[in-house]
Amino acid sequence: MKIGQTEIKHGLFLAPMAGYTDHSMRVVCHEAGAEYSVSEMVSAKAVTFNDKKTFSLAKIFPDEGPVAIQIFGSEPSVMAEAARLISENEACSRLVAIDINMGCPVKKIFSNGEGSALMKSPSLIEKITSAVKRAVNIPVTVKIRTGVDPSHINAVECALAAESGGADALCIHGRTTKQMYGGKADRKIIEKVKSSLQIPIIANGDITNAEEALSMFSDTGADGIAIGRGAVGNPFIFCEIRSALENKFYTKPTLKDRIDTALRQLSIATCDKGERLAVIEARGQIALYLKGFSGAARIRCEINRAETLKEVEKSMLTALNENK
């Protein structure tokens, strides 16, 4: 599949996740086989206010693969202006698309009429998409859910509105806002969206291994799949899925492989943010690299108290020695 001029051969996307899909995670996922990444969501209003911290979230680095910047908001003019500013910013010169968040279920976003709250008004979805599309010279994509709650499943209507507004591709998470991240993703609704639209559709939800990835493709007919929580502490999932798609043997990473990758991710984050902030923000994610190994729970507790790179390295070395 293609989004604009960007070829995504296997349809493997790293889904946007606030607090997770920063530069460091995007790099290790790209190295493991992710073909396209979407950034943490960026406030459109903050961009128009020239907020430096917000612009730092939108920075794209040379060691990454194709990256789209995701923006959120509810006012078409503000969203359009933010998209324009980002697309013209030198730090975003390698930007391949603007992604519009219409799927975030978090209460403070939803209650402000943003994220998945936009699904209450398909006409507004079309207006926002159209405004952003007119403001930039790169592809525009949209991320939605199945609906706000089980009584208001309107993913097809919202997806058609986004397509009518000029969206170049659409990603759908197979859950309602009310579900948050619980329950099961509804693949039948994803399939309905796919069969109703002409633009590429990316399916998202419950993909944690190659078997689930292959069945998501076959069950929905989606052009691509977006992996979020399944890649946290496990960027290797992209290599696993790619091997399955190519009918190649997959060798699972050793504990040393996992530790080396975790420390590489943390090292990149440290260069970007400074040591203490990088360690504090990445504690949970780095600790997940040890999942399934002996003593992992105890060592995760140590990592969750760490404040320096050396403390994390020491805990990781302990894990390696205990699992020889």
User: Which pLDDT value is given to residue 125?
Assistant: 98
Q: Does 310 score more than 90 pLDDT?
A: yes
User: Which pLDDT value is given to residue 9?
Assistant: 96
Contact predicate 130/142, CB 8 Å: no
Cα–Cα distance between 122 and 164 in angstroms, integer?
A: 10
Instruction: Share the mean pLDDT of the chain.
Output: 95
Domain 255-322 CATH assignment equals 3.40.50.300: no
Give residue-wise pLDDT tens across range 214-265.
Answer: 999 999 999 999 999 999 999 999 999 999 999 999 999 999 999 999 999 9
User: Which pLDDT value is given to residue 295?
Assistant: 84
User: Which pLDDT value is given to residue 53?
Assistant: 83
**Residue located via tokens 């693949």:** 187
Q: Could you tell me which residue, 310 or 53, shows the higher pLDDT?
A: 310
Give residue-wise pLDDT tens across range 187-218.
Answer: 999 999 999 999 999 999 999 999 999 999 99
Cα–Cα distance between 192 and 188 in angstroms, integer?
A: 6
User: Which pLDDT value is given to residue 51?
Assistant: 84
φ, ψ at 120 (rounded to 5°)? -70, -20
Q: Does 163 score more than 80 pLDDT?
A: yes
Through-space distance between the first and last CA atoms of the chain, rounded to whole angstroms? 43
Give residue-wise pLDDT tens across range 263-274.
Answer: 999 999 999 999
User: Which pLDDT value is given to residue 324?
Assistant: 76
Average pLDDT over residues 305-309: 92
Give residue-wise pLDDT tens across range 108-124.
Answer: 999 999 999 999 999 99
Give the residue numbers annotated as catalytic, written as ranges. Answer: 104
* CATH number for the domain formed by residue range(s) 2-245: 3.20.20.70
- Three-class DSSP category at 67: strand
Contact predicate 21/60, CB 8 Å: no
Cα–Cα distance between 55 and 9 in angstroms, integer?
A: 30
User: Which pLDDT value is given to residue 323?
Assistant: 87
User: Which pLDDT value is given to residue 199?
Assistant: 98
- Three-class DSSP category at 167: coil
Contact predicate 116/110, CB 8 Å: yes
Q: Look up residue 177 and give its DSSP letter.
A: T
Which tokens belong to 73? 């908001």
User: Which pLDDT value is given to residue 52?
Assistant: 80
User: Which pLDDT value is given to residue 54?
Assistant: 86
Contact predicate 61/90, CB 8 Å: no
User: Which pLDDT value is given to residue 8?
Assistant: 97
56-65, 110-119, 131-140: lowest mean pLDDT where?
56-65
Task: Report domain extents, the chain.
Answer: 2-245, 255-322
Average pLDDT over residues 283-302: 88
Residue 284 banded pLDDT, cuts 50, 70, 90: confident
